[in-house]
Amino acid sequence: MHPIIEGIIQAVNLILTGDPEVLGIAALSLFVSVLGTLIACVWSIPVAVALGLRSFHGKRIIKGLFNALTGIPTVALGLYLYLLLSRTGPLGQFQLLYTPYAIIIGQSVLVTPIVVSFTTSALESVDPDLRTLARTLGASDLQTYNVVVKEAFWGVVLAVIAAFNRAFAELGIAMMLGGNIRNLTRVLTTAIALETSKGEIALSIALSFILLGIVMSLSIAINLARKSAR
Amino acid sequence: MTSHLEAVDIIKEYDGVRALDRVSIPAHLGKVTSIVGVNGAGKTTLLKILAGLDAPSNGRVLIQGREADPRELRAHCTMVFQRSIMFSANVHNNVAYGLKICGTSSQEISLRVKSALALVNLDGFEKRQARKLSSGEQQRVAIARALALERDVLLVDEATANLDPANAMIIERAIKDAARYKAVLLSTHNLAQARRLSQHVIHLYRGRVVEEGEPSRFFTNPRDERTKLFIDGELQF
């Protein structure tokens, strides 16, 4: 049987039978990526609001920097964070390396430029006259920002989803900071890499279908929600 | 008669270019004051300063004889723009926005939204998406939104410039009605509209007031040559 067809059948089997190891890997992947993305949002959205709605010296340079960092290679970032978190590194005392927390930290750093850049673009695309209008209707500065953020809501959601997809599908950070330890830090991408290197193509394909299934289901769900909100 | 709102010697410069040059104008409660002039005369700049949206380079704005800062001006004035700007919400929420900010009770909001929409013939439009309305209907929502706030000064910037006569007539009627208890400043280059609505007309030319007076005299016997040419449609700018 062709490995792709075999992979599809195995994927269906693994999901339907509820293979505990595969479900565990998928759950850990979701856990670290969701948490990594949410943590990144905590600092990235306020930064994007400042970049998108305020004028200050050096704003263009900062925006350019974040734009450039959206494409940072995950292996490079993984290496720098590895050096920070390794036993001899500045943060080595916290013993985070090869734990899910290290992956979460790495992914939150990785997706920060994505959330900042995409959210800034979404905020900047809102009609600037809306802020003027809100002010004539008595809004304070904070309330006018709120108006813009509300108008850009779906743009911000898309920024967060793009960030999650990047975190969920990346390999370099999970491998270098997590170490692909079975039942501890193994996520879908590192499991796929491992199974492929072992020649278990069908299992790799099965895992990749789960990965793609989650990413695509999320995108479809968001699109449906967006359409129904209109 | 003391003005309710008064601009005194307003100067506004952008990069060394003077957009307004010592402009002084009064606005009285119960009256419509029209500011007429060609495009680029400084009408919108002046209204934005009076609305507290922009600061003058020099000069003062007084409310009831007392100098007011932009925050105080925003508390007294509301402005309707040439291009209707709608929040991405239904008509009710668009009209209610300013009232919610002020902390008005929901019962009071419902009443005011309803009566403001009635003034512009939009009864029953509350649940419609504002951005899906025609441009004329959107501009009427904008007028209703300004009127619902019940501020004492209404600033209207070319609000009927791109509208068909039917929508323009509804807006004019709402402005006329509002002027019974508000000071209305209307910027327009529609001279017929200025004549129909105003009790006082001001001609702004290249950032300066060149003529002002009651419509009957202003339109039939202008003293300034530029005003004569403007009324005759022959003023170069």
Residue labelled with tokens 């009635």: B118
Q: Determine contact: B219 vs chain A, CB below 8 A.
A: no
Cβ within 8 Å, pair B101-A139: yes
Rounded to two decimals, the pTM is 0.83
Asked if B205 and B226 count as a contact pair (C-beta separation under 8 A), the reply is yes
The count of other CB atoms within 10 Å of the CB of residue A90 is 10
Tell me what the mean pLDDT of segment B3-31 comes to.
94
Candidate from B53, B88, B101 with C-beta closest to A138: B101
A176: in domain: yes
Number of Cβ pairs < 8 A linking chain A and chain B: 42
* Closest C-alpha among A48, A44, A19, A15 to residue A167: A44
Cβ within 8 Å, pair A129-B53: no
The count of other CB atoms within 10 Å of the CB of residue A137 is 27
Domain boundaries, chain B: 5-87+151-231
DSSP state, A55?
-
pLDDT-derived band at A226 (thresholds 50, 70, 90) equals confident
Partner residues linked to B184 by β-bridges: B32, B154
State the pLDDT at residue B17: 92
pLDDT digits (tens, 9 = 90+) for B73-100: 999 999 999 999 999 999 999 999 999 9
Cβ within 8 Å, pair B74-A138: yes
Q: Determine contact: A147 vs chain B, CB below 8 A.
A: yes
Distance from CA of A86 to the nearest CA of B (A): 49
DSSP state, A96?
-
A228: in domain: no
Answer yes or no: is pLDDT of A3 > 80: no
Cβ within 8 Å, pair A137-B81: no
Candidate from B78, B83, B88 with C-beta closest to A137: B78
pLDDT-derived band at B1 (thresholds 50, 70, 90) equals low
A229: in domain: no
Q: Which of A104-113, A114-123, A202-211 has the lowest mean pLDDT?
A: A202-211
State the pLDDT at residue A104: 98
A79: in domain: yes
The count of domains in chain A is: 1
State the pLDDT at residue B237: 59
Per DSSP, chain A holds a count of helices (H) and strands (E) of: 11, 0
Q: Which of A172-186, B54-68, B181-195, B221-235 has the lowest mean pLDDT?
A: B221-235
Which of A135, A137, A148 to probe the B interface (max B CBs under 10 A)? Answer: A137
CATH top-level class for B5-87+151-231?
alpha beta
Distance from CA of B48 to the nearest CA of A (A): 9
Task: Compute the distance between CA of residue B160 and CA of residue B105 in angstroms, rounded to an integer.
Answer: 32
Cβ within 8 Å, pair A151-B97: no
Tell me what the mean pLDDT of segment B150-163 comes to.
92
* Closest C-alpha among A41, A22, A172, A49 to residue A111: A41
Asked if B142 and B148 count as a contact pair (C-beta separation under 8 A), the reply is no
Q: 40-69 in B: which are within 8 Å (CB) of A?
A: 51-53
Identify all chain A residues contacting B81, using CB atoms and an 8 Å cutoff: 129, 132-133
- Give the residue on B whose Cα is nearest the Cα of A128: B85
Task: Compute the distance between CA of residue A173 and CA of residue A102 in angstroms, rounded to an integer.
Answer: 9
Which of A125, A129, A133 to probe the B interface (max B CBs under 10 A)? Answer: A133
Asked if A188 and A25 count as a contact pair (C-beta separation under 8 A), the reply is yes
Q: Determine contact: A141 vs chain B, CB below 8 A.
A: no
Cβ within 8 Å, pair B101-A135: no
- What does A115-178 look like in DSSP terms, one character per residue? HHHHHHHHHHTS-THHHHHHHHTT--HHHHHHHHHHHTHHHHHHHHHHHHHHHHH--HHIIIII
Task: Compute the distance between CA of residue A103 and CA of residue A114 in angstroms, rounded to an integer.
Answer: 17
* Closest C-alpha among B162, B164, B186 to residue B174: B186
Q: How many CA atoms lie within 13 A of B27 on its CB side?
A: 30
Identify all chain A residues contacting B79, using CB atoms and an 8 Å cutoff: 136
Partner residues linked to B77 by β-bridges: B153
Task: Compute the distance between CA of residue B52 and CA of residue B72 in angstroms, rounded to an integer.
Answer: 8
What sections of B51-164 are H helices per DSSP?
Answer: 70-76, 91-101, 106-119, 135-148
In order of A19, A67, A189, B8, the CA distances from A199 in angstroms are 20, 38, 15, 84
State the pLDDT at residue B236: 65
Q: What is the mean pLDDT of chain B?
A: 93
A162: in domain: yes
State the pLDDT at residue B206: 93
Tell me what the mean pLDDT of segment B196-219 comes to.
95
CATH of the domain at A202: 1.10.3720.10
Quote the radius of gyration of chain A (alpha carbons, Å): 20
Task: Compute the distance between CA of residue B179 and CA of residue B160 in angstroms, rounded to an integer.
Answer: 17
Give me the phi and psi of B158, to 5 degrees please: 50, 40
Q: Determine contact: B101 vs chain A, CB below 8 A.
A: yes
Partner residues linked to B63 by β-bridges: B5, B66
In order of A168, A171, A216, B197, the CA distances from A114 in angstroms are 14, 17, 19, 54
State the pLDDT at residue A206: 85
Identify all chain A residues contacting B141, using CB atoms and an 8 Å cutoff: none
Range of the domain at A190: 3-223
